[in-house]
Amino acid sequence: MAGFCVVNDVSEREYQLERGPQWDKGKGCDTFGPIGPWLVTADEIPNPQKLGLWLDLNGQSMQVGNTRTMIFSVAKIVSYVSQFMTLLPGDVITTGTPPRCRYGA
């Protein structure tokens, strides 16, 4: 594993909620998964299950959470995905937003 980065998991809620039950329609549009701008190497993150996460938009707190509340650990996700596909250098696995992520300030 090379490391960790931020992925903006953009969603189009209208597509998700009003156009049928599948969430992928609202997540696969062009520009909907910007990554970065930095990659933190794995040796810089001693425990990826203890990372504070937050999103501020124009100076206003929109989300606050922590990776400790993820349903599946990073290690479990990588293990699971690798059962179905060959992971190669440069592949990216996104985990989504941890549950119980507080919205708003």
* Amino acid in position 97: T
- φ and ψ of 81, to 5 deg: -60, -40
Whole-prediction pTM: 0.72
User: How far is CA 25 from each of CA 12, 14, 20, 82, rounded to the nearest angstrom?
Assistant: 8, 10, 9, 24
Contact between 6 and 36 under an 8 Å Cβ cutoff? The reply is: yes
The better pLDDT of the pair 30, 85 is held by 85
Q: Tell me: the pLDDT tens digits for 26-78? A: 677 788 889 989 999 999 999 999 998 888 889 988 888 899 988 899 999 99
In angstroms, the CA 49 to CA 84 distance is: 24
Contact between 7 and 29 under an 8 Å Cβ cutoff? The reply is: no
